[in-house]
Amino acid sequence: MQKLFPKNGSKFPQLRFAGFADAWEECKLGDITTWTKGQGLSKEYLNNERYGSEAVHYADLYKFSPVMQEVIHWTNSDDGRIIPDNSLLFPASDVTPVGLARTSTLRLSGVKAGGDVIIGQLSERINSSFMSYQINANSKKILPLITGTTVKHVQAKSLATMSVTITNMAEQTAISGLFERIDNLIALHQRKLEKLQELKKGYLQKMFC
């Protein structure tokens, strides 16, 4: 993944799709992002039975790949902030620094974000999937921005200082499309593996119990 993004100050990635040769532009994440934060929605107001509005709890962000195609929680509460399209989602607190060194983007619209979810709505010239993959490929850049002792925290104003690189929308879309196809293939094989494991478990129980 890292070879498709420039590194060490370079304006050109090591690997590129055919037809792309322009230099990439380096900027601060804050230059292309408008920041907000989720609100409310503690776990007691969430359900996994599809009642109410779709919602994201900050702990959900640890369970998904850089691009979220679905949610695992719903809510009937009036709390929560609607996540704008083309946004990045960051967990604001965790017990380990590594837990905070991540981001996700959501493919769904009208979803509510609970407290401790940092929302970064990206400029129209940025593909949120592309930026999510880039930040996750360079997640170590987030580590120096984290504060706290027992519980670790990261703030939007700190994330805004992180350097990122951008290219034209066509190349952004090509890169993110490749990684999404790979993630979808991985998810498909994981589901097949889970079914095979359940099948094996059933056979073992029938043969030896």
pLDDT in tens, 170-208: 999 999 999 999 998 998 898 899 899 989 888 888 888
Tokens describing residue 95: 């017990």
On whether residue 20 sits in a domain, the answer given is: no
On whether residue 19 sits in a domain, the answer given is: no
Neighbours of 82 (CB within 10 A): 14
CA angle 28, 29, 30 (to 5 degrees): 90
pLDDT for position 154: 97
pLDDT for position 7: 85
Q: In angstroms, rounded to a whole number, what is the distance separating the alpha carbons of residues 166 and 25?
A: 5
How are beta strands 81-82 and 163-166 bridged, if at all? unpaired
On whether residue 17 sits in a domain, the answer given is: no
Q: In angstroms, rounded to a whole number, what is the distance separating the alpha carbons of residues 128 and 109?
A: 13
Tokens describing residue 23: 């230099």
Reference 90, options 30, 20, 2, 23; nearest CA is 30
On whether residue 136 sits in a domain, the answer given is: yes
Q: In angstroms, rounded to a whole number, what is the distance separating the alpha carbons of residues 198 and 91?
A: 33
Residues of the chain above pLDDT 90, percent: 83
User: Does residue 155 have a pLDDT over 80?
Assistant: yes
Q: How many domains does the chain have?
A: 1
Average of per-residue pLDDT across 23-35: 97
Tokens describing residue 4: 């498709």
Q: In angstroms, rounded to a whole number, what is the distance separating the alpha carbons of residues 166 and 21?
A: 13
User: What contacts 3, CB < 8 A, 6 or more positions away?
Assistant: 13, 14, 15
On whether residue 51 sits in a domain, the answer given is: yes
Q: Could you tell me which residues are beta bridge partners of residue 54? A: 74
Query: DSSP secondary-structure letter at 186?
Result: H
Average of per-residue pLDDT across 157-167: 98
On whether residue 11 sits in a domain, the answer given is: no
The residue type found at 180 is E
By the 8 A CB rule, do 77 and 44 touch?
A: no
pLDDT in tens, 195-204: 999 898 888 8
Query: What is the domain extent for residue 193?
Result: 25-208
We report the CATH number of the domain holding residue 158 as: 3.90.220.20
On whether residue 13 sits in a domain, the answer given is: no
